[in-house]
Amino acid sequence: MALLPILRYPDPRLKKVAQPVEKIDDTIRKLAADMAETMYEAPGIGLAATQVDVHLQLVVIDISEDKSDLRVLINPRIERLQGCHVGEEGCLSVPGIYEKVERAEQVTVHYQDLDGKNRSFTADGLLAVCVQHELDHLNGKVFVDHLSQLKQGRIKNKLAKQARVTA
């Protein structure tokens, strides 16, 4: 397994829309394993392939405290959204920035697993937020896109300043 570089906002590659995974093979399984290792190391609770500059519909999520509930979602799609929740979100591609975002309270998601089997689950709470956040990445959206233009500008300036300080 290998750690993958995570794209940082406002990198234009984060805007690319991911393509469906046509064939689930060892290459996809290795990508999922590398993404999981990268997510855990970061540390984070979700990572979309778009964030590591692979534009395929693949997401890894694990909201457990002990890293024991890894979910790999291939070609995921949200079938049902219910309710409304506003909560603070962060992102591995937007380090150090946390803002309130409105999301559905509950989602039902359909996807394929690493064996190509069709699966689905209904999630609420943090898992529902995480699913929506990661699927946004597959559609070329970052959580910052849900914010006002003013806040987006402030975040870009803050990240640019951080990059100058660490360079």
Helix then strand count (H, E) for the chain reads 3, 7
Please identify which of the residues 99, 102, 105, 134 carries the catalytic annotation. 134
For the chain, helix, strand, coil in percent to 5 are 35, 30, 35
Residue with tokens 């300043």: 161
Instruction: List, as one string, the DSSP characters of 25-45.
Output: -HHHHHHHHHHHHHHHHTT-S
Q: Are 132 and 45 in contact (CB under 8 A)?
A: no
Annotation marks residue 134 as catalytic: yes
For 151, list phi and psi in degrees, rounded to 5. Answer: -65, -40
Give the full edge-to-edge strand order of the sheet including 118-124: 46-48, 58-61, 71-82, 106-112, 118-124
Query: Which residues belong to the active site?
Result: 134
